[in-house]
A and B are shown apart, each in its own frame.
Chain A
Amino acid sequence: MAAIRFSNVGKRYEGGFDALTGVDFTLESGEMAFLTGHSGAGKSTLLKLIMLMERASRGQVQVGDQDLNSLSRRNIPQHRRRIGVVFQNHHLLFDRTVFDNVALPLQIAGYDPSDAARRVRAALDKVGLLMREKQNPIALSSGEQQRVGIARAIVNKPAVLLADEPTGNLDPELSEGVMRLFEQFNRIGTTVLIASHDISLIERMRRRTLVLRGGRLVADGY
């Protein structure tokens, strides 16, 4: 079954700039793939379409069996709860602890606090930050902050995990560690799509790679 399917998708921003043109691809459920291309090639736009932070101007984006064109604004929150996202700049909140940052998606989804606490600790354990739960994320290193972001993205076990330049600010060793984490989640069935321009890292991972150039999908393979 397809986890993510793009059918002839185009995105034109106001002012006539085409960020994506005629993008066609299918990511099967449980697959892990990279999305690459120079900056401005449309990687972020493609992820935004999946998150419904933007809507396609043309074509059809499908996540699971849901056609995103037919999702009303009201249904966007439910859609986003099924997708975990890791951002390059982490998007952590510095007014609360690591624990509370990771717990946010569960609070929003209305989990029982004790159940949520269990899940938050499990997620923090997976990224190796269980001992840091009571700290403020501002006290953590960039790599650790990124792992908090990853813990938050996977805490409610989403079927799809997206990452936008997750290793953008990290040295090669830390990047490798983050990639291993993504592989772990992929191994337990999560569909993973990672946007990155770190070609050498992508080559080392030997995964399916989608290449964007000027908003068009120019390569799709291993």
Chain B
Amino acid sequence: MAIKPQEKAVPRGAQKHRVGHLDRSRGWFRHHIEVALQALVRLTITPVATLMTLAVLAIALALPGFLFTVVNNIQQFSIGWDTNPRIMLYLNTEVEDARAEQLSLELMLHGGLSGVELIDRDQGLREFSSYSEFAGMLSLLDSNPLPAVILVLPADHHAAALQQLQAELQSIPEVSEAVLDLEWIQRLNAYLLMAERFSWVLAGLLALAVLLVVGNTIRMTLESRRDEILVAKLVGATDAWVRRPFLYSGFWYGLIGSLFAYVLVQVSLYLITGPANQLAQLYSSNFVLQGLDLTSGLTLIATGTGLGVLGGFLSTGRHLRAIEPS
């Protein structure tokens, strides 16, 4: 204490005047709960404005949440798929069936292959006629135009090994073309990667939107509480004390907004469950559409809440300093 009243004039109760350490930390905790509740009550004073803000926050948070869930689901879908790469060896048309047979037997001894299947020209023709609408056209031809195909399963699934194997098989004289049948899954994965990256970019932009919405909303309430801030500063409030209610406003906006967002994501997923399951059935997959699991849900809510507090923090810093009694 820099200022001490004269001893003879110490007012009654001066001993209790000081706030003890324990008292202070207890008071600090109580003050936080009080401020948090007051901030929550304050939101209900302007219900329409608050709901509008919360709706904007919920949509901004739900969009990336929804996208991530969809990407996650497609990944799940593609994992359940038989992703074993295959190499199709299209033999030259002049290769005899017997030679093709022999080649397939030779390939079985190849250490880099885990499986070999010969689809000879007749079989190829049969399959083509049963699956293709152009079957009728085949009867117009004198001879079978299809080559024999040897389907091999590489043992090593690494991209480099596959490429090397493909080149090696390509160099067999009887092989007209060796096609690595992995491209569709690579393409799918590339799409997924892009979708994921896109989700991140979108999430970043929408996080910024959340910050701006919360920040702007709080900046307006800050203006409306200018007198209170001035008086509080005059009677010895610290910057942290003055700032606290606004941080809690941000906290509530973020928390409630992300809870709304959680519900939005779950409802949206529910709406596409039917078509998604139908699609999965067409692929005879046992895929089931997954909603937000506990971890993702908590991540969404934690992110939303964190962004709310950060928005409050960013919007109050400079403005609160500018509000000084004079």
Chain A residues proximal to chain B, CB less than 8 Å: 1, 3, 29-30, 48, 51, 53-54, 63-66, 77-82, 85, 91-93, 95, 104-105, 107-113, 115, 152, 156-160, 187-191
Contact = CB atoms under 8 A, between A and B. Distances in A.
B3 A108 contact: no
Contacts of B4: 1, 29, 64, 159
Contacts of A189: 5-6, 8-11
B24 interface: yes
B236 A65 contact: no
Contacts of A157: 11, 13-14, 17
Contact of A93 (B9, B227, B241): B227
B234 interface: yes
B19 A64 contact: no
Q: Looking at A109, A152, A187, which has the most chain B CB atoms within 10 Å of its CB?
A: A109
B1 A82 contact: yes
Contacts of B231: 91-93, 104
B107 to A, nearest CB: 80
Contacts of A190: 5, 11
A115 to B, nearest CB: 7
B275 interface: no
Given A77-B236, A78-B236, A104-B235, A188 B9 contact: yes
Q: Which 10 residue pairs are nearest across A and B when measured between Cβ atoms?
A: A189-B9, A64-B3, A64-B2, A81-B236, A159-B3, A66-B2, A110-B27, A189-B5, A80-B236, A105-B235
Given A105-B235, A110-B31, A189-B10, A53 B3 contact: no
A30 B9 contact: yes
A53 B325 contact: yes
A55 to B, nearest CB: 12
Nearest to A29: B6
Nearest to A80: B236
Nearest to A118: B13
Contacts of A112: 23, 26-27
Contacts of A158: 3
Contact of A105 (B5, B31, B236): B236
B237 interface: yes
Contacts of B30: 113
B230 interface: yes
Nearest to A155: B235
Contact of B234 (A65, A85, A111, A187): A85
B241 A108 contact: yes
B23 A77 contact: no
B6 to A, nearest CB: 5
Interface string B16-35: 11010001101110110000
Contacts of B13: 157
Contacts of A111: 19, 27
B2 A82 contact: yes
Q: Looking at A65, A107, A110, A113, which has the most chain B CB atoms within 10 Å of its CB?
A: A110
A82 B4 CA distance: 10
Contacts of A93: 227-228, 231
Contacts of A188: 9, 11
B238 to A, nearest CB: 4
Nearest to A87: B234
Interface in B218-262: 227-228, 230-238, 241
Given A53-B325, A110-B19, A30 B236 contact: no
A77 B27 contact: no
B235 A29 contact: no
Contacts of A110: 19, 23-24, 27-28, 31
17 contacts: A3-B3, A29-B3, A63-B2, A77-B233, A79-B2, A80-B233, A85-B235, A110-B24, A110-B31, A111-B27, A152-B235, A157-B13, A157-B14, A159-B1, A159-B4, A187-B9, A189-B5
